[in-house]
Amino acid sequence: MAQTSKETTSNKTPSGQNAASLDKIVSLAKRRGFVFQSSEIYGGLNGCWDYGPLGVEMLNNVKQQWWKNMTYRENVEGIDASILMHPRVWEASGHVENFTDPMVDCKQCKARYRVDILLEEVSIKKQLELIRQYHGVDKGAANFPKSEVDIKKEYGALTEQHPQEFINLMNCPNCGNKGTFTEARKFNLMFKTFVGPVEDSSSVVYLRPETAQGIFVNFQNVLTASRQKIPFGIAQIGKAFRNEINTKNFLFRTREFEQMEMQFFVKPGTDDEWFEYWRGERMQWYIDLGMKKEQLQWHRHPKDKLAHYAKDAYDIEFLFPFGWGEIEGVHNRTNYDLSRHEEYSGKSMRYFDEETKEKYTPFDIETSSGASRSFMAFLVGSYHEEEAPTAEGTSEIRVVLKLHPRLAPIKTAVFPLVNRDNMPEIARKIEVDLRPHFRVFYDDSGAVGRRYRRQDETGTPFCITIDSQTLQDQTVTVRNRDSMRQERIGSTRVAEYLTDKLK
Ligand code: GAP
């Protein structure tokens, strides 16, 4: 859990920069039915997005891959806890008190900003200007930081110590007015609602800001029901809600999103070892699903920035078009959460080890991935623009999503080369046979090259074409999305071929 939503993005110049710009991704996502703005016909709702026909398919694939990878193990169980929980849960977890961001409002235009982001999103030139203004020195003064590194360093140190003074010197990015910001206030990011018909403080509940707490409060239930022994884990996928002050970068920071979290409970003293184990497992998951190593990196939380419950914490960061951004946190949460729930509920959260006769509160290693953020990272990482030959002998730019076949929303497309000579009938038969097992798309319109391009854009890994040779020897062509190479296989072998490729 981030007690403040403090994940950052950095703009370090990357090696292997994505071809994708955010605008291209957002436009493709809309055009091809991956993601739409929520309530678009009413002007949209900030920080909320809808998954279209291909998006929901792909998001389900991401979640299914995670679920299989994490719970098809001997020592991990799954649950699905409710989104609304007893309000005491959030007192025990520390969210009521600490899940806050300092924010300021512009008195003039009423725009609201997170203090850290407002201070962060300032050009170097402006940083220097603000440092000078802060010291009350005119532009000609000599003893001020000259290099970019020094300016950044001084600006970082000063704004950490005196954020309000700097905010007071700034212009509102929305209306341009200066000195119009309020004093910074703590803003709790949990959405509140009420259970039952009476809307008073006794009926307040929160939309969960993380799925993890549903796991902690069920620790004893799962332990007893599953007859697991420590070490073991509990995994869950589900929606989480945060009233983020600044939503941004498409699906990166939204108000409603999905998490894929696992809490692995271990004996204190073995936690460092399990922490390393799960770090390795989690990074490998992204690589196995096609992310390039150079687009992934670890960011370790500095000791003085660790959340109060954490002994150690690493983020897996992905190289988005706007810079590196966290897609998953791996945290050693110690026995903080279980101990707090024991304290607040009065119910024991301890574990009795039958073999050693020891009783202890387990430590927790958490792996916390954003399903929606990972979805976006998979989209960005797979986006390619390449030069490809046309039927006329020229070349054109093809847009292709090189998604891992297991994540691709459509697994195969079936094309009759022409709409005659029994080709459509054969193609329809293949499509009908495949449909119960795979997401299939049938397309008989336009030149076959155009049909390939349309499928490339949605990441379909294999296209099956029925042509004149099919009529003679019952073979079809299978065209590979990434290599664009074609091979012939027997028409009755298509299902077997796809099953093998999707393993
Ligand atoms: N239980 C731990 C926890 O919630 P976190 O670092 O706050 O930790 C974990 O969140 C992951 O959830 C992040 O790495 C990110 O992928 C996703 N996430 C968090 N806030 C998000 C937001 N506002 N929009 C989209 N994804 C978010």
Q: Could you read off the pLDDT tens digit of each residue along the chain, which spans 503 residues? A: 444 444 544 433 343 344 679 999 999 999 999 999 999 999 999 999 999 999 999 999 999 999 999 999 999 999 999 999 999 999 999 999 999 989 999 999 999 898 988 998 899 999 999 998 998 876 555 566 678 888 989 998 999 899 999 999 999 999 999 999 999 999 999 999 999 999 998 899 999 999 999 999 999 999 999 999 999 999 999 999 999 988 889 999 999 999 999 999 999 999 999 999 999 999 999 999 999 999 999 999 999 889 888 999 999 999 999 999 999 999 999 999 999 999 999 999 999 999 999 999 999 999 999 999 999 999 999 999 999 888 788 999 999 999 999 999 999 999 999 999 999 999 999 999 999 999 999 999 999 999 999 999 999 999 999 999 999 999 999 999 999 999 999 999 999 999 999 98
pLDDT score recorded for residue 16 = 37
Determine the residue of 189, 256, 368 to mutate for testing ligand 1's pocket, defined as the one with the most ligand atoms within 8 A of the Cβ atom.
368
Q: Which amino acid is at 269?
A: G
Q: How far is the CA of 370 from the centre of ligand 1 (A)?
A: 6
Q: Which atom of ligand 1 is nearest to the CA of 258?
A: 26
Q: How far is the CA of 259 from the centre of ligand 1 (A)?
A: 7
Nearest to 214 by CA among 379, 65, 90: 90
Q: Could you tell me if the CB of 328 is within 6 A of ligand 1?
A: yes
Q: Could you tell me if the CB of 208 is within 6 A of ligand 1?
A: no
Nearest to 382 by CA among 8, 15, 48, 18: 18
Nearest to 213 by CA among 192, 187, 240: 240
Q: Could you tell me if the CB of 370 is within 6 A of ligand 1?
A: yes
Q: How far is the CA of 5 from the centre of ligand 1 (A)?
A: 8
Q: Which atom of ligand 1 is nearest to the CA of 209?
A: 4
**Rounded to 5, what percent of the chain is helix, strand, coil?**
35, 25, 35
Q: Give helix 371-382 / helix 22-31 axis angle, nearest 10°.
A: 100
Nearest to 474 by CA among 451, 493, 500, 487: 493
Lookup: tokens for 95: 């969210």
Determine the residue of 3, 7, 283 to mutate for testing ligand 1's pocket, defined as the one with the most ligand atoms within 8 A of the Cβ atom.
7
Q: Could you tell me if the CB of 1 is within 6 A of ligand 1?
A: yes
Q: Which atom of ligand 1 is nearest to the CA of 370?
A: 16
**Cβ-contact 237, 214 below 8 angstroms:** no
Q: Could you tell me if the CB of 351 is within 6 A of ligand 1?
A: no
Using the CB atoms, write b or e for 131-166: b if 16+ within 10 Å: bbebeeeeeeeeeeeeeeeebeebbeebbeeebeeb
Q: Which atom of ligand 1 is nearest to the CA of 254?
A: 24
Lookup: tokens for 178: 């200066």
Ranges of H-type helices in 162-311: 163-169, 212-216, 219-226, 271-288
Length of the chain: 503
Q: How far is the CA of 473 from the centre of ligand 1 (A)?
A: 54
**Cis amide linkage into residue 416, ω under 30° from 0:** no
Q: Which residue has the tokens 């029925």?
A: 466
**Cβ-contact 251, 370 below 8 angstroms:** no
Q: How far is the CA of 294 from the centre of ligand 1 (A)?
A: 22
Q: How far is CA 194 from CA 85, 95, 259, in A?
A: 11, 17, 24
Q: Whose CA is nearest to atom 19 of ligand 1?
A: 370
Contacts of 66 (CB under 8 A, 6+ apart): 237, 260, 285, 369, 371
Q: Which atom of ligand 1 is nearest to the CA of 2?
A: 7
Rg of the Cα trace of the chain?
27
Q: Could you tell me if the CB of 101 is within 6 A of ligand 1?
A: no
Q: Could you tell me if the CB of 372 is within 6 A of ligand 1?
A: yes
Q: Could you tell me if the CB of 317 is within 6 A of ligand 1?
A: no
Determine the residue of 326, 330, 380 to mutate for testing ligand 1's pocket, defined as the one with the most ligand atoms within 8 A of the Cβ atom.
326
Q: How far is the CA of 138 from the centre of ligand 1 (A)?
A: 43
**Residue 441, beta-bridge partner list:** 413
Nearest to 98 by CA among 257, 301, 308, 371: 308
Handedness of CA 188, 316, 10, 38 (dihedral sign): negative
Q: Which amino acid is at 267?
A: K
Q: Which atom of ligand 1 is nearest to the CA of 211?
A: 1
Phi-psi group of 237: left, alpha or beta (phi > 0 → left; psi -120 to 50 → alpha; rest → beta): beta
CA 473 to chain centre: 47
Q: Label residue 16 exposed, middle or buried (CB < 10 Å: 0-12, 13-18, 19+).
A: exposed
pLDDT score recorded for residue 479 = 97
Q: How far is the CA of 440 from the centre of ligand 1 (A)?
A: 33
Q: How far is the CA of 403 from the centre of ligand 1 (A)?
A: 23
Q: Which atom of ligand 1 is nearest to the CA of 328?
A: 14
Q: Within a 13 Å sphere around the CA of 7, how many CA atoms are in the beta-carbon half?
A: 26
Handedness of CA 341, 265, 218, 58 (dihedral sign): positive
Q: Whose CA is nearest to atom 1 of ligand 1?
A: 1
Report CA dihedral (6, 183, 249, 210) to the nearest 10 degrees.
Answer: 40
Determine the residue of 369, 373, 375, 380 to mutate for testing ligand 1's pocket, defined as the one with the most ligand atoms within 8 A of the Cβ atom.
373
Q: Could you tell me if the CB of 257 is within 6 A of ligand 1?
A: yes
Q: Collapsing DSSP states into helix, strand and coil, what is residue 78?
A: strand
Q: Could you tell me if the CB of 253 is within 6 A of ligand 1?
A: yes
Q: Could you tell me if the CB of 329 is within 6 A of ligand 1?
A: yes
Contacts of 176 (CB under 8 A, 6+ apart): none
Please state, as a whole number, how many other Cβ atoms lie within 10 Å of the Cβ of residue 29: 22
**Residue 357, beta-bridge partner list:** none
Determine the residue of 1, 93, 259 to mutate for testing ligand 1's pocket, defined as the one with the most ligand atoms within 8 A of the Cβ atom.
259
Lookup: tokens for 376: 């976006």
